[in-house]
Amino acid sequence: MRILRSVRHKSCADGSRMKEFLLSEPVTEDFFLFLRDFGRVERLANVGAGFYKFEKTDFFSIKGLAGDTTVEVRFRREVMDITVDFLYALFHFYRDGKPDIDTLKRREAGVERRVKECLYGK
Amino acid sequence: MPEENPSEMIYLNNAATSWPKPPGVRAALGDSLARPVFGSGRTAGSQGDDFVTQAREALTRFFNAGPEENWICTHNATDSLNMLIHGFLAGGVEGGPCHVITTALDHNSVLRPLYEQEKQGRISLTVVPFENAIVSPPDAVLNAIRLDTRLMVMSHGSNVLGSVQDIQAIGEILHEHGVYFIVDGAQTAGHIPVDLGKLPVDAYVFTGHKGLFGVPGTGGDFTSATPDRVTPMRFGGTGTDSFSLFQPQEMPEKFEVGTPNYPGLAALAAGIAFVGSAGTNAIAAKAERQTAYIIQELAKESNMIIYNMTPPHLPIVAFNIAGMENDDVGGFILARAYGVISRIGLHCAPPWCIRHSTGGERLCTAQSLLVYHR
């Protein structure tokens, strides 16, 4: 599964930047559960095929319904140019349910260092 | 009635833009493009319909207010509000900065032009609060009036709560004190009866794409007996008096410049005809009944927060689900899982929404119905 392109964007009242991304295939419940390795995942199972929210502090949040071909992503605006590549990597390295966790964890650590430097100066 | 929605979508965002449009509106829009446009003063001969005049005639009849030439066609309500607010303050005020009143229920189309004027030092601004989360009472307006108050601008109906302001009483108070009164009728035009022949209003603003069933990009305003108090803020071609290098001072050329939106105005005239045939009283009664029913049913759910429990005059239901973000409720779950299209977020009405932001819910979801809903 990969991100094809962004189809909608807006600036949000809380200062975040929202982008809706079109995916190469429908997003699955398994994908959202895989995201638990990288942040907090909330689930409302009785809404449609399942409504999911993923929150990665200081990076971004992802909202989606299982079975949809788009997801909404809210970026922390100040570090969006640093974190957006990691978003693409999450989808790319998921590899249809056989995720490359080691590569993603290495990237996550690298991006996290830069995010903290940018936001907190450390 | 329009054909059934093929996608099973339930469209409840009519306070933003009405949909579906009546067949007559779609036909008028198509027909207007089937022939060359006829613009009075811009096209030789008389081979076509003059859509601008037709729209002006329809507005004059519908709102019971003339003369026809005092109806000015613009891009939308925001466009007209900018034209009137900046135009009034540019030319209609003597003695330097003056005092202006608006309300906390107003839309950014009113608030932003006024805050810009305040930032530039041209006015001091009073924002009248509201009571019971609904109405800015006339007494509060009276208390806000000062010796240097020259202008009040307010929405007739709230796009978030569906409440309708008592512009009869407020207008009478303002006129007793010599205050110019601009009313934003974006939410009321077509939804409830508005008789401008009787209301004490100096300028009334409307938009075409909501309750009048026209298309986006149309709107305008009516200035009563005092258009001379507003200075034009745009200058250009009118198709008349072209030898003069200065803007004509006659209505409507004083305020209408450039090529009009001919197809949009054809659709607007057709939309007004539709509302006229359906009857504004009948539309209002049905909408009030349906809105009251939805509020009554939603209120049975213990986790439902409803912000306009008293059924409003306009068909709007403002609500949240306790503990959930309104973006999740309206923007995601309702829209994507159930195909219900509503409005979420600040609704371009930040004072109200900020006052009612309570932790997890943040802002609100609003559903707005239309005469078509059964």
Which parts of chain B are beta strand (E)?
A: 10-11, 71-74, 98-103, 123-128, 149-155, 180-184, 203-207, 219-223, 304-306, 316-321, 340-341, 365-368
Please indicate, yes or no, if residue B373 is contained in any of the structural domains: no
- pLDDT at position B4 over 80: no
Which chain A residue is nearest to residue B328, measuring alpha carbons? A63
A44: which chain B residues are within 8 Å (Cβ-Cβ)? Answer: 333
Strand order in the sheet with B180-184: B71-74, B219-223, B203-207, B180-184, B149-155, B98-103, B123-128
Which chain B residue is nearest to residue A68, measuring alpha carbons? B336
Q: A17 — contact with chain B (CB < 8 Å)?
A: no
Quote the CA–CA distance of B301 and B368 in Å, as a whole number. Answer: 20
Quote the CA–CA distance of A17 and A83 in Å, as a whole number. Answer: 12
Residue B270 sits in the same domain as residue B315: no
A73: which chain B residues are within 8 Å (Cβ-Cβ)? Answer: none
What letter represents residue B180's amino acid? Y
Sequence-separated (6 or more) residues with CB below 8 Å from residue B37? B43, B48, B51, B262
Q: Quickly tell me which residue has 């899982």 as its tokens.
A: B337
Q: A68 — contact with chain B (CB < 8 Å)?
A: yes
> What CATH number is attached to the domain comprising B232?
3.40.640.10
- pLDDT at position A81 over 60: yes
The per-residue pLDDT for range B136-150, each reduced to its tens digit, is 678 899 999 999 999
Residue B7 sits in the same domain as residue B46: no
Region B84-100: what's the mean pLDDT?
84
CA B283, B284, B289, B293 torsion-angle sign: positive
CA dihedral (B217, B222, B223, B225) in degrees, to 10, reads: 160
Q: B334 — contact with chain A (CB < 8 Å)?
A: no
Residue B190 sits in the same domain as residue B305: no
Q: B345 — contact with chain A (CB < 8 Å)?
A: yes
Q: B363 — contact with chain A (CB < 8 Å)?
A: yes
Per DSSP, the residues of B31-60 read: HHHHS----TTTSSSS-S--HHHHHHHHHH
* Among the ranges given (B40-54, B104-118, B310-324, B349-363), the one the predictor scored with the smallest mean pLDDT: B349-363
Residue B242 sits in the same domain as residue B314: no
B353/B325: higher pLDDT:
B325
B242/B18: higher pLDDT:
B18
Quote the CA–CA distance of B304 and B190 in Å, as a whole number. Answer: 30
The reported pTM is 0.87
Residue B33 sits in the same domain as residue B174: yes
Sequence-separated (6 or more) residues with CB below 8 Å from residue B206? B59, B77, B80, B185, B186, B189, B212, B219, B220, B221, B222
Residue B200 sits in the same domain as residue B110: yes
CA B23, B25, B29, B31 torsion-angle sign: positive
Strand order in the sheet with B316-321: B304-306, B316-321, B365-368
3-state secondary structure A47-83: CCCCEEEEEECCCEEEEEECCCCEEEEEECHHHHHHH
* Among the ranges given (A16-30, B130-144, B156-170, B208-222), the one the predictor scored with the smallest mean pLDDT: B130-144
Please indicate, yes or no, if residue B114 is contained in any of the structural domains: yes
Nearest by CB to A51, from B337, B345, B346: name it: B337
Distance from CA of A103 to the nearest CA of B (A): 32
Which chain A residue is nearest to residue B325, measuring alpha carbons? A53
Q: Does the beta-carbon distance from A13 to B332 stay under 8 Å?
A: no
Q: B346 — contact with chain A (CB < 8 Å)?
A: yes
Reported as type and span, the H/E element at residue B117 is helix B108-119
Q: Does the beta-carbon distance from A53 to B337 stay under 8 Å?
A: no
Distance from CA of A29 to the nearest CA of B (A): 15
- pLDDT at position B5 over 60: no
C-beta of residue B80 within 8 angstroms of C-beta of residue B105? no
The per-residue pLDDT for range A58-73, each reduced to its tens digit, is 999 999 999 999 999 9
Domain edge (last residue) among B215, B245, B276: B276
Region B199-222: what's the mean pLDDT?
97
pLDDT number for residue B328: 86
B46 — pLDDT class (breaks 50, 70, 90): low
What residue numbers bound the domain in which B241 lies? Answer: 28-276
Give the rounded percent of residues in chain B with a pLDDT score beyond 70.
85
- pLDDT at position B357 over 90: no
Q: Does the beta-carbon distance from B345 to A65 stay under 8 Å?
A: no
Residue B248 has what DSSP assignment? -
Residue B153 sits in the same domain as residue B243: yes
Q: A44 — contact with chain B (CB < 8 Å)?
A: yes
Number of structural domains, chain B? 2
Residue B89 sits in the same domain as residue B147: yes
Beta bridge partners of B207: B219
Distance from CA of B333 to the nearest CA of A (A): 7
Sequence-separated (6 or more) residues with CB below 8 Å from residue B210? B14, B15, B16, B17, B18, B186, B187, B189, B190, B191
Beta bridge partners of B127: B102
B359 — pLDDT class (breaks 50, 70, 90): very low
Residue B258 sits in the same domain as residue B241: yes
Residue B57 sits in the same domain as residue B180: yes
B74 — pLDDT class (breaks 50, 70, 90): very high
State the best of A14, A20, A52, A63 to mutate against chain B, taking most chain B CBs within 10 Å: A63
ipTM: 0.76
Please indicate, yes or no, if residue B169 is contained in any of the structural domains: yes
Q: Does the beta-carbon distance from A65 to B363 stay under 8 Å?
A: no
- CA B33 to mean position of chain CA atoms: 27
Region B263-285: what's the mean pLDDT?
95
A with B: how many residue pairs have Cβ under 8 Å apart? 23
Residue B263 sits in the same domain as residue B290: no
Q: Does the beta-carbon distance from B333 to A63 stay under 8 Å?
A: no
Residue B7 sits in the same domain as residue B123: no
